[in-house]
Amino acid sequence: SNMLGEDPRCSMHTQVSAESMKGDVFDEGQWSSDKQFDTYMERFWELFYIPRGTKMLVVAGNHDIGFHYRMHKSFVDRFDKTFNTSAVHMKTFKGNTFVLINSMAMHMDNCNLCVRAEAQLKDVERRLQCSLALDSKMTSQHNVPPKETCTKVDFEHHSRPVLLMHFPLYRTSDSECSEPDAAPYPDRNEVFREKWDCLSEKATEMVLSALQPRAVFTGHTHHGCLTYHRGDIPEWTLPSISWRNKKSPSFTLAVFTPDDFAVSKCYIPQETTVVLIYVTSAVLLGSWCVFSH
């Protein structure tokens, strides 16, 4: 999985308002029976304890519900019910708006889930435009819909949303990624396959046009990357937080206000470093026991 936020047990001095995982919460969610899924969920909550009052934002990954070609409605519904989400889901708190999207529902091929996702995306777009229309500070600066058409708005002030997804937005490869935890060569130059390694170019344009996000956080590739879309929309692809998938795992800590944000990446010690510490400690302890007697 790819993590935005912080495990509260890592730092009891940091108050985290929300934690987000960019999909692939499970290894075999798309093949699990309901009983196995419940067992995985018990393990999940043991690993990622969430204190009361902290929100959890989880998007579906291909290992959770399957790639598009093998998504089964029961698996999708099970995941959405467990994590209180949907194909396109908007959450707002502390003046910040987050939009969570199921990447596998963005194929634009008229499948049932894709049709539902596109309808939900249009609804979120309408709600964002209405928040713009009803925000007196913003009305004179943008082309907005008439206030009379906006009847249901659940936020007081407009704030460009933060987009959370599993698949990265469309890019040809990781060749321009220069983060310390970027993919190694020659993997960094491998060409991405649309709808498998990233969203399609068409779906990316649809999502960016509808949401006009101020920041994007994705996962899937197991490697870190910072790219920009349309010149000023940053996308952080978060690496895997597992030693199995990444020698230098990390999580990302972000601070959001309605008008600004700051992002910092926090690296976890490499597995070899931890093993070396254990071995060194054992040798020192053994030496102390021998020479102290």
Give per-residue pLDDT as tens, 68-87.
Answer: 988 888 889 999 998 889 99
Percent of the chain at pLDDT > 70 equals 88
* pLDDT for residue 9: 46
The stretch 203-208 carries a mean pLDDT of 98
**Containing structural domain, residue 135:** 86-292
Percentages helix, strand, coil for the chain (3-state, rounded to 5) are: 35, 20, 45
Give the angle 253-185-242 at the CA atoms, nearest 5°.
40
Q: Which of 81, 21, 71, 19 is nearest to 50 (CA)?
A: 19
Which are the contacts of 161, defined by CB distance < 8 A and separation ≥ 6? 90, 97, 98, 99, 128, 211, 212, 213, 214
pLDDT band at 12 (very low <50, low <70, confident <90, very high): very low
Q: Which amino acid is at 6?
A: E
Domain contains 71: no
* pLDDT for residue 243: 75
Which are the contacts of 11, defined by CB distance < 8 A and separation ≥ 6? none
Domain contains 5: no
DSSP element (H, E) containing 123: helix 112-133
pLDDT band at 136 (very low <50, low <70, confident <90, very high): low
The stretch 201-213 carries a mean pLDDT of 97
* pLDDT for residue 180: 87
Q: Return the sign of the alpha-carbon dihedral for residues 195, 43, 222, 97.
A: positive
The stretch 137-152 carries a mean pLDDT of 61
pTM of the model: 0.84
179 three-class SS: coil
Domain contains 288: yes
Q: How many other β-carbons are positioned within 10 Å of the β-carbon of residue 267?
A: 13
Measured CA distances, 135 to 121, 139, 174, 208, 260 (Å)? 21, 6, 39, 21, 17
Pairing of strands 215-218, 233-237: parallel
pLDDT band at 4 (very low <50, low <70, confident <90, very high): low
| 226 touches 248 (CB < 8 A) | no
DSSP element (H, E) containing 158: none
Domain contains 13: no
pLDDT band at 229 (very low <50, low <70, confident <90, very high): very high
DSSP element (H, E) containing 21: strand 18-21
Looking at the structure of the chain, the number of domains it has is 1
Domain contains 106: yes
Domain contains 25: no
Q: Which residue has the higher pLDDT, 64 or 1?
A: 64
The stretch 166-189 carries a mean pLDDT of 93
Domain contains 38: no
Angle between helices 34-47 and 73-83 (to 10 degrees): 30
The stretch 265-291 carries a mean pLDDT of 89
